[in-house]
Amino acid sequence: MKITNQVIGMKLIITIATIALFSIANSSAQTLYKASNASVSFFSKTPIEDIDGKSETATTLINLETKDIAFVIQNISFIFPNKLMQEHFNEKYMESEKYPMSSFRGNVQENIDLKVAGVYQVTVKGKLTIHGIIQERTITGTITVKEGSILLESNFIVKNSDHKIEIPSLVATKIADELDVKVKATLIPKK
């Protein structure tokens, strides 16, 4: 009796494991689109100084089935016209050695089918992680679905204070608390 129980148990495990594995494999087939050259830029405007940084190497994934979207960006990939600002951005504010990546993971809230071509205004709800601080965010944007490619575009605001990025009072007049962030990515089917 004991042995049969164990055998049934083992079979059950194998079956479930197989199903589990298949479900992972299934979810990542055909419906995944990817970009590793997404552009992310931000802009800080104060009466004294304008600061802008841009990365062209952000990575992003979208799952058309589950309507999940993920972004990961290496903080050190942001390029500034003034290299001193670039160094300070990484060394003093983002602390890129401690927190090398910024990321977003969210889900499209609208009841739409992203496998059908079209232009969709979407609301994406999810978690934005910058400087090690996770913020629940609802970000609006546009998803343009075409044959073989998907375009993601979004503008949103990131507040330094929301992510515990402290601006020393000495430079507070030069760095805005609210940064305008622009995201643009063209995704192609993931191989």
**Coil, strand or helix at 75:** helix
* Contact stretch for another protein (CB under 8 A) within 79-87, 109-117, 132-140, 142-150: 79-87
The span from the first CA to the last CA of the chain, in angstroms, equals: 49
Name the amino acid, one letter, at 73: I
> How big, in percent rounded to 5, are the helix, strand and coil portions of the chain?
25, 50, 25
The three-class DSSP label of residue 93 is helix
Among 3, 25, 116, 170, binds another protein (CB under 8 A): 170
Residue 79 DSSP class: B
* DSSP three-state, residue 162: helix
Residues 98-157 that bind another protein (CB under 8 A): 98, 100-101, 103, 105
* 71 is a site residue for another protein (CB under 8 A): yes
Tell the smallest beta-carbon distance from residue 135 to another protein (Å). Answer: 15
Pick the binder of another protein from 6, 111, 116, 147 (CB under 8 A).
6
The residue from 29, 30, 37, 82 that contacts another protein (CB under 8 A) is 82
Q: Does 9 bind another protein (CB under 8 A)?
A: yes
> Which one of 3, 25, 47, 84 is in contact with another protein (CB under 8 A)?
84
Q: How far apart are CA 10 and CA 133, in angstroms?
A: 43
Number of residues that bind another protein (CB under 8 A): 50
- Regarding 40 and contact with another protein (CB under 8 A), the answer is no
Q: Does 13 bind another protein (CB under 8 A)?
A: yes
How far is it, in rounded angstroms, from Cα 46 to Cα 174?
Answer: 6
Residues forming the site for another protein (CB under 8 A): 5-6, 9-10, 12-13, 16-17, 20, 23-24, 27-28, 36, 52, 54, 59-61, 63, 68-72, 74, 76-77, 81-84, 86-88, 90-92, 95-98, 100-101, 103, 105, 168, 170-171, 174
